[in-house]
Amino acid sequence: MFYFPCCSLLPESFPVLGVADGTMWTSLAGILLLLGAALLLGTIAEQLRQSALLGYIAAGTLVGPNLLGWVSNQKDIFDLAELGVALLLFAIGLEFSLPRLRRLGRIPLLAGTLQVIFTLLAGLTVTALLGFSIAESLAVGAMIALSSTACVVRMLNDRAELDSPHGRTALGILLVQDIAVIPLMLIVTALLNGGTPGEVIVQLGLSLLLAAVFVAVFYGLFNFVLPRVLELSSLRRNRDFPILLAMLMAAGSAWSAHQLGLSPALGAFVAGVLLAISPFATQIRADIQPLKTVLVTLFFAAVGMFADLGWIAGHLGLVLAVVAAIVLGKLVITFGLAYLCGQPWQFALGTGLCLAQVGEFSFVLATVARGEPGISSILSENTFRAMIAATIATLILTPYLIQLAPGAADLIRRLSQRKPKQVDEQAASNIIVEDSASKTESDFIIILGFGPAGQRVAGELLQVGLKHIVVIDLNHENLQIAKQYGLHAQLGDATQIEVLEHAGLYRARLVIITLPSPTIGRQIIHLVRQMAPGTSLYVRCRYHLHHWQLLAAGADVIVDEEEHVGERLAQQFLESSLYQQLSSSSREPEKKREQQDS
């Protein structure tokens, strides 16, 4: 356990400030050390053009119990960090509504089921041939069957490949694997405790029943109760309440799944999918983003704490052999099954590369199978250490394998020096759909704020045929009006990067800010200029005093309300009958003087 060295400098008679025994603060010190080391080594990894995940894992190894020993309570930290995985899956679920999830098709479901079965059997067969017991071989096969949802989803999301053909299939297979955690955990537990197959079947049936209850309860909650709660005026006035509600839903869904004996990450994902149809989904996703980032980083650092570099150095050949067998074996199995299930071979190869690692739930299975050495244990100490080392090694390799996934097929074509063959009809249709989608969605306008000003802007744009418009507003009533206009309406705080990204800022040609606050306007201008410097910015300026501030912030066109009001007042007067009367009366003395002069 890590202790602050400065504590020894205090006199023993110095009074203790507070009533806590210090355990919480010691745990917090370990968490801060992990996050600090992750920040440092993650930054170094990025500077070296490597994935930041490598730095996070290296940070946990460095300060963990097997190297410097500054942080030793790895189980407590790992348990806390698992919430980060649940929040990550909850956020991804908010992107995948039920209709979009159904569009994943049958390939991920079928390929995922077969992948778990075939990988488990392959691991069981190989280890049994090497002289392991059936129980130990089955535990190893169960561990190898799972891939890393946290690592793969994080990398695909960062690379904007989650909706690519290989990304969609990989996500679907990962969801099947998360479901498979339940029966695999029951099998390993039964082997450890000597349970009968009948007891395992009964427990599995109970788990399926509880899963159905979980989905039904959350479906009713999110579709009938939550909309009425979110429409309360107090929630719209106070930004603290929606943030607290978002965290309650995200963490509560994971906790509820855990209490029912289900996978917390899978439970959080299901809750996110059920909530995705709500107009509040984007803002909820943005509200949980900071905590999700912290806990996911802590998760990968906690994974690194399991590494024992001394043991790995003494058994380097064994570890490399296990890593090679896992990566190549899972690549071949996943690629073959995805291809046989109907996915084009180019995308099947990318899917195989994405899933050629051992996942985070394998740590849980390994810990359960290890039990208490000498009392009740399935895995020997060497097998446990070898699997932990191999799991961490495959996670380190994952960013590089995912980088290869999009261009793997082209690379094979070049190496084989064959002429590129025409892709099959399904691949071609996928490419055509994606290209057409990118063409139709690459030229659109974002309107921030849909009050009277935003509504007038949208009306004028619709009249000239510009229909690809996205509206962002925090007022639910304004969003209803936007939907009546036939526009895509999104509830969210436009000062948050997550909301602007989800709205498609990177593809927008024009952003129109109709919000009256100059402070909020400057914040949004800075974000847009930072994220999409080529996007045009038209901004509303309520008072002439702020005109130059908005211009200096980076706005392209500013509509100054005071100048505009002055122009419109003058124009209205010049078009009125009063102007004609005053003008004619003012010209009469001039005419009289001209007549006298003449």
Count CB-CB contacts under 10 A for residue 65. Answer: 15
Closest CA to 477 of 261, 204, 253, 236: 236
pLDDT digits (tens, 9 = 90+) for 376-393: 678 888 888 899 899 889
Count CB-CB contacts under 10 A for residue 314. Answer: 11
CATH code of 439-574, in short, is 3.40.50.720
Residue 356: what pLDDT? Answer: 92
Residue type at 296 in one-letter notation: V
pLDDT digits (tens, 9 = 90+) for 312-368: 999 999 999 999 999 999 999 999 999 898 888 888 888 999 999 898 778 878 877
CA-CA distance, 503 to 508, in Å (whole number)?
9
Bridge partners of residue 372, in order along the sequence: 376
In degrees and rounded to multiples of 5, residue 70 shows phi and psi of: -70, -30
Contact 352, 338 (CB under 8 A): yes
Helix (H) or strand (E) holding 28: helix 23-47
Distance of CA 350 to the CA centre of its chain: 20
Q: What is the largest CA-CA distance in the chain?
A: 127
CA-CA distance, 542 to 559, in Å (whole number)?
8
DSSP 289-302: HHHHHHHHHHHHHH
DSSP 182-224: HHHHHHHHHHHHT--HHHHHHHHHHHHHHHHHHHHHHHHIIII
Residues of the chain with pLDDT under 50: 1-14, 16-19, 418-442
CA-CA distance, 212 to 196, in Å (whole number)?
25
Q: Given the structure tokens 């490419």, which residue do they identify? A: 431
pLDDT digits (tens, 9 = 90+) for 228-263: 776 776 666 676 777 788 888 888 888 988 888 777
Contact 326, 119 (CB under 8 A): no
Closest CA to 285 of 474, 532, 469, 88: 88
CA-CA distance, 434 to 430, in Å (whole number)?
6
DSSP label of 532: -
Three-class SS state of 491? strand
| Residue 206 CB-half CA count within 13 A | 9
In degrees and rounded to multiples of 5, residue 488 shows phi and psi of: -80, 115
Residue 22: what pLDDT? Answer: 58
Tokens of 540: 């509303």
Residue 123: what pLDDT? Answer: 92
258 in the Ramachandran plot: left (φ > 0), alpha (ψ -120 to 50) or beta? alpha
Residue 438: what pLDDT? Answer: 41
What angle, 0 to 180 degrees and rounded to 10, lies between the N-to-C axes of helices 264-275 and 240-259? 130
Is the full-model pTM beyond 0.85?
Answer: no
For the chain, where do the domains classified as CATH 1.20.1530.20 start and end?
Answer: 5-9+29-415
In degrees and rounded to multiples of 5, residue 256 shows phi and psi of: -60, -45
DSSP label of 405: T
Bridge partners of residue 512, in order along the sequence: 447, 538
For the chain, where do the domains classified as CATH 3.40.50.720 start and end?
Answer: 439-574
Choosing among 1.20.1530.20, 3.40.47.10, 2.10.109.10, 1.10.3720.10, the CATH entry for 5-9+29-415 is 1.20.1530.20
Contact 192, 378 (CB under 8 A): yes
Residue type at 155 in one-letter notation: M
Tokens of 48: 């070296």
Closest CA to 380 of 186, 184, 140, 185: 140
Count CB-CB contacts under 10 A for residue 345. Answer: 16
Contact 263, 181 (CB under 8 A): yes
Tokens of 417: 């020096």
Closest CA to 71 of 3, 21, 162, 118: 3
